[in-house]
Structure 1
Amino acid sequence: MSDMPPKLTEIVDEFASAPRDVVLEMLLEFSDAVPPLPAELTHEGMEQVPECQTQFFLKAEVQPDDTVVSYFDCPPESPTTRAFAGILSEGLAGATAEEILGVPDDLYARMGLSQAISPLRIRGGAAILGRLKRQIRDQLG
């Protein structure tokens, strides 16, 4: 896991070592950590993640310095799915394209989330990460 961005590694370790009842509280905190979209960005400029049970949109932009800026949009009534966005938003802030592409696809299992939330939600979270990585690979050519 050492090729993950340091902040994401820290978040993964916190979740992995937390008791199940605390994990749900932590998820709720991350659901509040999703920054609002910039005014000029609409869903038309973002990719929908149909694997999520709720409407979820994302966009990754590789910057000239190879860092990635990620945008996520998900309704507040979907705290678990928003939590995935909050975790990625905070954990990947300032990360390079290469670091994000190195994030393991089983990230949420490594966090121990399969003990706390449904497999369907885990699959949605994995799809979010997969689409984010695919957008980055597409931009890198």
Structure 2
Amino acid sequence: MPPALAEIVEDFHAVSEPERLQLLLDFSRGLPALPPRYADHPELLEPVPECQSPIFLLTEVDDDADRTVHLFFSAPAEAPTTRGFAGILAEGLDGLPAAQVLDVPGDVCSRLGLDRAVSPLRLRGMTGMLGRIQRQVRESTAA
């Protein structure tokens, strides 16, 4: 697991279960806004139907030696759990080489220790986000 994402997982395990929800809300507030090139063209982002709330995402892969990945998310403020998961992925994966993003294990959301605090449907949403990110990165690096 990439160091930044591993550190986030450690942060969740360093606090009690009720505090994990607060930490998730903190990540929701920290989700970066879309840059104008995407905010003005939301049709460029891919929906994540596994999420109960409407969320859209897009990856960009630089043409540098590492194939650096950049993540962009659009999620409504009234969906803090979804925004929190997006915030975790943004903080843990944005700016990493494509190979590291592709190596992230699919069970990363369950490693956060939110199984009893968040419904399985919501956890499935984070897994869906990660799956779409990895698919977009694979497609970009194969082209």
TM-score range, shorter chain: over 0.9
Name the CA distance, whole Å, in 1 between partners of 2:94 and 2:128.
19
Amino acid at match of 1:13: E
Amino acid at match of 1:64: D
Is 1:94 the counterpart of 2:91? The answer is no
Give the SS at the match of 2:37.
coil
Q: Equivalences for 1:58-73 in 2 at 5 Å?
A: 58-65=57-64, 66-73=67-74
Name the CA distance, whole Å, in 2 between partners of 1:116 and 1:49.
22
Give the SS at the match of 1:113.
coil
Name the CA distance, whole Å, in 1 between partners of 2:111 and 2:128.
16
Residue of structure 2 equivalent to 1:18: 15
Q: Equivalences for 1:1-141 in 2 at 5 Å?
A: 4-41=1-38, 42-65=41-64, 66-141=67-142
Q: How many residues align?
A: 138
Amino acid at match of 2:13: A
Name the CA distance, whole Å, in 1 between partners of 2:137 and 2:11.
27
Give the SS at the match of 2:71.
strand
4+ aligned runs moved over 3 Å, structure 1 = none
Give the SS at the match of 2:10.
helix
Give the SS at the match of 1:69.
strand
**Over aligned residue pairs, what C-alpha RMSD do you find?**
0.9
Give the SS at the match of 2:105.
coil
Name the CA distance, whole Å, in 2 between partners of 1:93 and 1:52.
20
Give the SS at the match of 2:109.
helix
Q: CA deviation at 1:127?
A: 0.2
For structure 2, the 5+ residue unaligned runs are: none
Percentage identity across aligned positions? 49
The answer to which of 41-50 and 72-81 deviates more is 41-50
Q: TM-score, normalised by structure 2?
A: 0.93
Q: CA deviation at 1:13?
A: 1.2
Amino acid at match of 2:96: A
The answer to which of 78-87 and 37-46 deviates more is 37-46
